[in-house]
Amino acid sequence: MKRETAWKVFAGEYNDSTFELKGEGEKTPSYVVTPLGAKVNRLFIIGVLTDVENISENGEFLRAHISDPTGVFTLYSGQYQKDVTEALSHIEVPAFVAVIGKARTYSPEEGTLFVSVRPERIMEVNADTRDKWILETCKNTKDRIEAVIEAKKMTQSNTYDLVKLGYSKELCEGIVAALKNYRNIDLNKYITLIQESLQYLRPSKETLPELKIDEKAEEVEEESEIDEETIEPEEEEIIQDRKPKAKETKKKDNETKKEDKFLEIENSVLETIKKIEGDDGAPWDLITEKCEKAGIDKDLIEEALTSLMDKGLIYEPTLGTIKTT
């Protein structure tokens, strides 16, 4: 039997999944189909292991969470994954980890689906490895967005025509299934997800990887739904830059300035934590007090702390105490 591809997907896309292709028979695999058409049986994820919890009396069943720039993966590991369960119980959190695992689902009632991961392998990695995974996953997510846009242009999306455009058979099958089972796929949400994930790499503007996605993808969706036959074939680049109007340019410049300003605030808050934290961390109230004295608004301090937690740069070992990773 062919070994299933281990997909690189962000938690933000995986956790949005509400459709499962169930295999028929014991040896036929099942798949979680994401809104962007990733047909997931196995995953390859890298992020911050934030907590490991024993949820059985004998300690043979663990629940863990891994945070990436877009959300949190939930892992369950038990007696049938002894090596992984033992490794999880000995990793000191927080830690950067790489996991290869199986997609798992739980449906408490019809119409409700929760997804998780059953880890097959886990190992600690460094921040550089995590950053490379983020970049690769951004590229893979971009490819899926482009493929969905192409599928939406078709009178009737089908695997054969998508494969002819150069996409893998697995992705094409997933996209066809996604378009049948998800209503109103919000491509702009996933475009934003990519853009925000790239910011987590915190490179200089000169080294920020070029990942161009048409910010009017939603308009492409609307056009395809209104009159698919009127859409002209695109050139070699599926998604192109478009010349923005003056108002749009000004708006984007303002948004960029706001983002840069917030990154400065984040860095200031992070440096403050590093200066005052001891072995047990830094009290939340003291962090807020020091940052307010430095001229940072209290609401912005709260936002920065939440953002830094999401990025895996800080964590809360005990309620009201913050530590850097």
Residue 278: predicted pLDDT: 85
Burial of 39 per CB tally in 10 Å (0-12, 13-18, 19+):
buried
Whether residue 314 has pLDDT greater than 70: yes
Whether residue 221 has pLDDT greater than 70: no
Residue 9: predicted pLDDT: 96
Token output for 229 = 């036959």
Token output for 233 = 């074939």
Whether residue 162 has pLDDT greater than 70: yes
Average model confidence (pLDDT) across the chain: 80
Residues paired with residue 324 on neighbouring β-strands, in sequence order: 314
Whether residue 143 has pLDDT greater than 60: yes
Mean pLDDT of the 284-295 span: 90
Whether residue 24 has pLDDT greater than 70: no
State the pLDDT confidence band at 145, using cuts at 50, 70 and 90: very high
Residue 39: predicted pLDDT: 94
Helix H or strand E encompassing 103: strand 95-106
State the pLDDT confidence band at 149, using cuts at 50, 70 and 90: very high
Q: What are the φ/ψ torsions at residue 49 (nearest 5 degrees)?
A: -75, 110
Mean pLDDT of the 195-221 span: 55
Give the torsion sign (CA, 287, 288, 293, 294): positive
Q: Could you tell me which of 34, 43, 46 has the C-alpha nearest to residue 6?
A: 43
Neighbours of 46 (CB within 10 A): 21
Q: Is the pTM of this model over 0.85?
A: no
Token output for 249 = 């340019």
DSSP 62: E
End-to-end CA gap in the chain: 41
Token output for 254 = 């303002």
- Domains defined for the chain, CATH in brackets: 6-125 (2.40.50.140), 132-245 (no CATH), 247-324 (1.10.10.10)
Residue 219 to residue 234: CA distance in whole angstroms: 15
Residue 265: predicted pLDDT: 87
Neighbours of 267 (CB within 10 A): 13
Residue 118 to residue 244: CA distance in whole angstroms: 45
pLDDT digits over 52-69, tens only? 988 877 767 889 999 999
Q: If you write DSSP's letter for every residue of 128-177 in order, what string do you get?
A: HHHHHHHHHHHHHHHHHHHHHHHHHHSSS--HHHHHHTT--HHHHHHHHH
Q: What are the φ/ψ torsions at residue 143 (nearest 5 degrees)?
A: -60, -40
The tally of CA atoms less than 13 A away on the side-chain side of residue 77 is 24
Beta strands in 152-227 (DSSP E): none
